[in-house]
């Protein structure tokens, strides 16, 4: 009886289980913006996060001019955070979670800091391409 039930339900459960990930597994990606393009537009909107191996990657430029990259998934409940250059923080609109420019959770419900990625600049000064990679 148990064997029969297992024979019936095991394939169903396996079928319901998510299929193998289709991510590229890339550990490095070139951002869709150059350093010169990394600024707020006329409406004050910062360039949105982009796809880094299936996860949103947020690029910011600190007031000191340093470029930083983070996994943009909020550590609270998986929303995607945004950079607020005028307030010098990273903010989650879903539950008002606030991170500082090092990705540390400073107020609101997020329990952990954002995952930090490594940034490498390549090319002529001012027009550098931005490469983002996982910290090994």
Partner 1 sequence: MSPETLDNTSDRGRPRSPLAAFFFERLGLDDLWALAAKKRVPIHGTTAFYFLGGMALFLFAIQVVTGTLLSLYYKPSPDQAFESVRAIMTEVDFGWLIRSIHTWSANLLIGILFLHVLTTYVMRAYRRPREFTWMTGVGLLVLFLAFGFSGYLLPWNQLAFFATRVGTGIVGVVPLVGRDLLLLARSGENVTGDTLARFYALHVVILPLATLAVLVVHLFLVQKHGISVPERAAKKCGGADRVPSMPFFPHFLLRDMVGWYVALGLLAALAALFPWELGEKAAPFGSAPEGIRPEWYFLFMFQSLKKLPAHVFGIPWLEGETVGGLFFGLCGLIVFLVPLLDLRAAQGRSRPILNVLAAIAVIGFVVMTAWGLLE
Taking the CA atoms of the chain, what radius of gyration do you get in angstroms?
20
Q: How far is the CB of 91 from partner 1 (least distance, A)?
A: 9
Token code pair at residue 72: 């943009």
Q: 27 or 56: whose CB is closer to partner 1?
A: 56
31 close to 132: Cβ distance less than 8 angstroms: yes
Which residue bears the tokens 């990273």?
90
Based on CB atoms, which residue is closest to partner 1, 55 or 118?
55
What's the min distance (Å) between Cβ of 45 and partner 1? 9
Q: How far is the C-alpha of 45 from the C-alpha of 67, rounded, in Å?
A: 17
* Cβ nearer to partner 1, comparing 50 with 133: 50
- Minimum CB–partner distance for residue 123 and partner 1 (Å): 24
Interface with partner 1 by CB under 8 A: which residues?
16-19, 21, 48-51, 54-56, 58, 72, 76-82, 92-96, 105, 108-111
What's the rounded Cα separation, in Å, for the pair 64 and 108?
26
CB of 36 to partner 1, least distance (A): 21
Other CB atoms within 10 Å distance of the CB of residue 105:
20
In this structure, are residues 78 and 87 in contact, taking their beta carbons and an 8 Å threshold?
A: no
Nearer to partner 1 (CB atom), residue 35 or residue 73 = 73
């Amino acid at each position: 009886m148990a064997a029969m039930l297992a024979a019936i339900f095991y394939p169903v459960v396996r079928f319901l289980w998510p299929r193998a990930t289709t991510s590229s597994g890339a550990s490095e990606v070139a951002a869709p913006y150059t350093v010169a393009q990394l600024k707020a537009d006329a409406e004050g909107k910062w360039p949105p996060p982009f796809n880094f191996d299936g996860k949103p990657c947020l690029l910011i430029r600190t007031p000191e001019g340093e470029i930083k990259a983070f996994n943009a998934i909020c550590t609270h409940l998986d929303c995607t955070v945004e950079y607020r250059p005028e307030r010098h923080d990273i903010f989650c609109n879903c539950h008002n979670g606030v991170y500082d420019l090092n990705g540390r959770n400073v107020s609101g419900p997020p329990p952990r800091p954002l995952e930090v990625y490594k940034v490498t600049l390549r090319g002529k000064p001012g027009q550098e391409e931005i490469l983002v990679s996982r910290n090994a």
